[in-house]
Structure 1
Amino acid sequence: MDANTLKNMVIELDVDNIGAAVKQALTSGMTPMSVLAALTDGMDEVGRRYDQKEYYLTELVLAGETMKEAFKLLEPALKSGQKAKKQIPIVAATVKGDQHDIGKNILISLLLSGGFEIHDLGMDVPASRIVAKVKETDAKIVALSTLLTMTVEEIRNVCNALKDAGLRDKVKIIVGGAPLNMELAKQLGADEYADDATQGAKKIIQMAQSL
């Protein structure tokens, strides 16, 4: 088992066999981080194919399921190698009024390593609930998703609610979704923008390194 095989299994959406392949890779001597890198490379290619209209939402969902199956085997290995590292709390949510969570779920799959403690609030989440979870978990990063133009303003509502609660300066906010770009994200009060889940994961890892 090698990195290229794992990468291709993600690209080919091999949800039934990816778990066994990850187990074999770890048993044969691949490090957990090398396995993670291979899986992430696969998701990068899935994202590229989606952008190019070679893959559609069905394939994106299956890719997310493939990653979930892989992480069932990989997550314990990642955690065992990072026991001394304090986990960084992240709150993830799709904003109020939006019922889409594919991108958020793929992002969470990519972040399921020992370095993050992820609190997924799901879809259609009001600002008040996000603030409450940040207080409860002492989260350092908030990841918000929206695919609808009409719910974009909810990002501003979340940023303002965190500010009113005295928490805005204590968290980094990253946003993603089809209606957004970096300029709009900044206007709404966010710190960062990602145009897909793989870029989001990379930016969150970079943000975490500065905490």
Structure 2
Amino acid sequence: MGSELMNAVIDIEYDEIAGLVTSALKSGSDPLDVLGELREGLRVVGERYQEGEYFLSQLFLAAETMKNALEVLQPLLAAADRGESKGTIVIGSIEGDIHDFGKAIVSSLLTAEGFRVVDIGVDVPSERFVEEAEKADADVIGISALLSTTQSQSRDVVRDLERRGIRDRFRVILGGTGVVSEYALEHYGVDAAVNDGVEAVKIITGWLEGEKG
């Protein structure tokens, strides 16, 4: 059943995945083992995307497939409360941006890597990023800004952190299709800026695994 779950993510069995997860759990599979198989499937999808075998649309649909599976799994994982997270990331789309596309991909890929992800949605005011990061005791704040007109608001998040005297507690990463890394790093005060979701996951993984290693 494990490899079936992994392949269901790889093959983007969006409509079937929830039933497959439910069936695996009913047959006695450990929720963490089920999660491990799902993670492995999404990792394979990420690799295929980087190698040019999968398109961005397929990466997005695989991420949505993973989300469907997690809706079934999350209550059981929370009840079990086992396994140590690699770190916590608060992620959202900045105020004025209602796009969920890139954020959904990054959230699912981070979950697949074993991180705890707190998705605070879209059209999120800068101060809420800070409040939610403090509440979650997060390691990283991820700001999604697909629109070039909203990217500069990432600076407001950084300024709010500085104003509260907690800037050094969090890494801040800005992501979006039109993000120009050099400009964002110079003008917005973020720690990283990317225009590719897989690259964002690599950077965050490097930060947190390096700190805990």
Q: TM-score range by the shorter chain?
A: 0.7 to 0.9
Deviations 1:128-155 (A, max 9, x none): 1112222322221101101111111101
Q: Percent identity?
A: 31
Q: How does 1:139-158 map to 2 (within 5 A)?
A: 139-158=138-157
Task: Return the offset for 1:102.
Answer: 1.5
Which of 27, 42, 61 pairs up with 2:45? 42
Task: Return the offset for 1:185.
Answer: 3.1
- Corresponding residue for residue 198 of structure 2: 198
Q: How does 1:110-121 map to 2 (within 5 A)?
A: 110-112=109-111, 115-121=114-120
Deviating 4+ runs (over 6 angstroms): 76-82
Q: How does 1:66-77 map to 2 (within 5 A)?
A: 66-72=65-71
- Structure 1 stretch displaced more, 143-152 or 81-90: 81-90
What is the DSSP-based 3-state SS (H/G/I as helix, E as strand, rest coil) of the residue aligned with 1:112? Answer: helix
Taking the aligned partners of 2:112 and 2:47, their CA distance within structure 1 comes to 17
Structure 2 CA distance for partners of 1:39 and 1:136, relative to 1, 3 Å: closer
Whether the aligned pair in 1 keeps the contact of 2:40 and 2:112 (CA below 8 Å) is: no
- Corresponding residue for residue 122 of structure 1: 121
Aligned residue type for 1:190: V
TM-score by length of 2: 0.75
Aligned residue type for 1:40: R
Structure 2 CA distance for partners of 1:152 and 1:14, relative to 1, 3 Å: same
Across the two proteins, how many residue pairs are aligned to each other?
203
Task: Return the offset for 1:70.
Answer: 3.1
Taking the aligned partners of 1:93 and 1:190, their CA distance within structure 2 comes to 15
- Structure 1 stretch displaced more, 193-202 or 109-118: 109-118
TM-score by length of 1: 0.75
Deviations 1:28-63 (A, max 9, x none): xx7854541222222443575445xxx4xxx56533
Deviations 1:73-100 (A, max 9, x none): 6668988998252563321111111111
Structure 2 CA distance for partners of 1:37 and 1:193, relative to 1, 3 Å: farther
Structure 2 portions without partners, runs of 5+? none
Whether the aligned pair in 2 keeps the contact of 1:64 and 1:106 (CA below 8 Å) is: yes
What is the DSSP-based 3-state SS (H/G/I as helix, E as strand, rest coil) of the residue aligned with 1:14? Answer: coil
Taking the aligned partners of 1:31 and 1:17, their CA distance within structure 2 comes to 15
Aligned residue type for 2:44: D
Whether the aligned pair in 1 keeps the contact of 2:6 and 2:37 (CA below 8 Å) is: no
Aligned residue type for 1:134: A
- Corresponding residue for residue 131 of structure 2: 132
- Structure 1 stretch displaced more, 155-164 or 145-154: 155-164
What is the DSSP-based 3-state SS (H/G/I as helix, E as strand, rest coil) of the residue aligned with 2:198? Answer: helix
- Structure 1 stretch displaced more, 195-204 or 110-119: 110-119
Structure 2 CA distance for partners of 1:88 and 1:164, relative to 1, 3 Å: same
Structure 2 CA distance for partners of 1:78 and 1:36, relative to 1, 3 Å: farther
Taking the aligned partners of 1:114 and 1:74, their CA distance within structure 2 comes to 16
Deviations 1:96-115 (A, max 9, x none): 11111111122212223694
Taking only aligned residues, the RMSD between alpha carbons, in angstroms, comes to 3.4
Structure 2 CA distance for partners of 1:79 and 1:135, relative to 1, 3 Å: closer
